[in-house]
């Protein structure tokens, strides 16, 4: 697996469509991000620093924006299962595109300040 597109292509169609939507949202709100595979999932960097990662699982999409990237959105994220620096978006629900977009925009601004 050499690219994010290759990574996404390995999933069943219904999961693949949701993963593609997440990737499109990240690229829209972080157009200068560098895509790569890291930790076995899709990863993005801005200003040579980690931005966000996402991965497909059996029942959810794991989204990783570091703990700092989740803190300002904790109320909106509270309806999802979480761990330190990660959130699980269930495959049985629509992808929260607006929320992902705002998290990505926040993380881009955060990385550019560093």
Tokens describing residue 54: 């996402």
User: What is the four-CA torsion angle of 22, 50, 3, 60, rounded to 10 degrees?
Assistant: -40
For the whole prediction, is pTM greater than 0.85? Answer: yes
Tokens describing residue 92: 């049985």
- Residue spans per domain, the chain: 4-113
- Which of 2.30.110.10, 3.40.50.300, 3.90.1150.200, 3.55.10.10 would CATH assign to domain 4-113? 3.90.1150.200
SS3 content of the chain, % helix, strand, coil (to 5): 45, 30, 25
pLDDT digits over 33-64, tens only?
999 999 999 999 999 999 999 999 999 999 99
pLDDT digits over 60-90, tens only?
999 999 878 888 999 999 999 998 789 999 9
Residue with tokens 């990237």: 69
Q: How far apart are CA 104 and CA 23, in angstroms?
A: 11
Q: How far apart are CA 82 and CA 25, in angstroms?
A: 21
């Amino acid at each position: 697996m050499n690219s994010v597109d290759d990574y996404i292509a390995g999933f069943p169609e219904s999961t693949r469509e949701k993963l593609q939507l997440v990737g499109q949202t990240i690229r829209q709100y972080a157009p200068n991000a560098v895509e790569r595979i890291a930790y076995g999932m899709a990863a993005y960097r801005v200003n040579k620093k980690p931005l966000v990662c996402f991965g497909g699982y059996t029942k959810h999409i794991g989204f990783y924006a570091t703990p700092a990237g989740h803190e300002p959105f904790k109320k909106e994220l509270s309806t999802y299962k979480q761990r330190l620096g990660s959130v699980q978006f269930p495959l049985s629900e629509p992808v929260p595109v607006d929320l992902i977009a705002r998290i990505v925009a926040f993380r881009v601004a955060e990385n550019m300040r560093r």
